[in-house]
Amino acid sequence: MPRSRIASLAAALLFLVASSAAVDAQSIAAPILALRTARAPRARVRAIEDIARMRPEGGRVALEDALRDRSPSVRRAAAISLGELGDPTAIAALTHSQRDRDRNVQRAATASVRALATLPPPARPPNAPGTLAQRPGTPGGFYPAAAARPPAPVVDWRTVRVVVSINQIGNRASASPAELELARDTMRRATESTVGFALHPGATLPAVAQQRIRARTLRWFSLEGSITQLQRQQDATAARVRAELSLAIVAEPGHNIIGTLSTAASAQEPPLPPTAPEPWGRLAQTAIEAVARGAIQRMQEQFAATTPARRTARR
């Protein structure tokens, strides 16, 4: 083969490899590009949420840049998402945002700083053994996940009727990143303890489960939504926290929304002496856990006919 022909083929091959790499890089960096170029604040907020979910390379730096955005809603979303990334390197930028001219941005930055302050530098991917999880009773405090939750129960995929994925829980209230994770973890535990339900393992489903989904003898749903209210109130009779959670029920694998559900719960205590520690942390935890368990219970009731226990009770 002539040398000119070989050179042409080599150049074409190198072009294809470079083009493929460029496409991959463009796909990974898409939310960062959207954050930097979108004109509407809502579009930039959506890009920030995508960065928190997809965790592309350079995401933390892009979010730190967004802390200087001209829109308060964008700066607040960036402060929240930096806490969700779990990278303590962001504390310096968040500390500066605690002096932001917008009070909501200040609160979001403070909550994220508290959530990140006790974290060591991340050395393992999220949800890997030994990563960090919410410490019960102290929103914002963390300790090893292996001690936080008991081992997941062994699932008999031949008898399960409903498999549930707990997706991203957004923040449309004043919840901290730790409180959002508390809601997700409570929903996961409630799913695992529900007869006929199983929690999606987060990786590929076992072959028997995939076969049953294709045969429509196993239903797969994902839950995603937001904490829409986390309201603190105090009067002469009690200190109260009211939490509200709104979720979409999405049929998988087609990702079709088939319904919504909303739950609310309150926690209260009698007034404490002025010298006593503030009760808001433990009240928020109680309310969030109750509202998350209530969401799974509502879903269980909606699909009661698919669970073995309910089918037996009707006979």
HEC string of 215-232? CCCCEEEEEEEEEEEEEE
Domain extent listing, the chain: 18-117, 132-313
Identify the CATH number of the domain defined by range 18-117. 1.25.10.10
Identify whether the C-beta of residue 187 lies closer than 8 Å to the C-beta of residue 295.
yes
Average pLDDT, the chain: 76
- pLDDT bin (cut points 50, 70, 90) of residue 119 is low
Q: What percent of the chain has pLDDT over 70?
A: 75
Pick the closest to residue 303 from 186, 218, 246, 225 (CA basis): 218
pLDDT of the residue at 213: 92
Say which range, 93-97, 111-115, 182-186, 285-289, has the weakest mean pLDDT. 111-115
Q: Please determine, for residue 296, whether its predicted confidence score (pLDDT) is greater than 60.
A: yes
Mean pLDDT of 250-264: 87
Q: pLDDT tens for residues 202-255?
A: 778 889 999 999 999 999 998 988 999 888 888 888 888 999 999 988 888 888
Lowest mean pLDDT among 39-48, 56-65, 270-279: 270-279
- Residue 144 predicted with pLDDT over 50: no
Q: Which residue has the tokens 């998402």?
A: 81
Confidence of residue 24 (pLDDT cuts 50, 70, 90): very low
Q: Is the pLDDT of residue 74 over 90?
A: yes
User: At residue 176, what are phi and psi to the nearest 5 degrees?
Assistant: -85, 165
What distance in Å separates the CA atoms of residue 227 and residue 156, rounded to the nearest whole number? 32
What mean pLDDT do residues 269-289 have?
81
DSSP code per residue over 70-128: S-HHHHHHHHHHHHHHT-GGGHHHHHHHTT-SSHHHHHHHHHHHHHHHTPPPP-S-TTS
pLDDT tens, position by position, 82-110: 988 878 888 888 988 999 999 889 988 88
The superfamily (CATH) of domain 132-313 is Lipoprotein like domain (3.30.160.150)
Q: What is the pLDDT of residue 245?
A: 92
Whether 142 has a pLDDT exceeding 60, the answer reads: no
User: Would the pLDDT of 305 be above 60?
Assistant: no
Pair 299, 152: CB distance under 8 Å: no
Share of the chain above pLDDT 90, in %: 14
**Averaged pLDDT, 179-203:** 85
User: Which residue type occupies 131?
Assistant: T
Res. 145: pLDDT tops 80: no
- Tell me, what's the pLDDT at 151? 61
Phi-psi region of 194 (alpha: psi -120 to 50; beta: other; left: phi over 0): beta
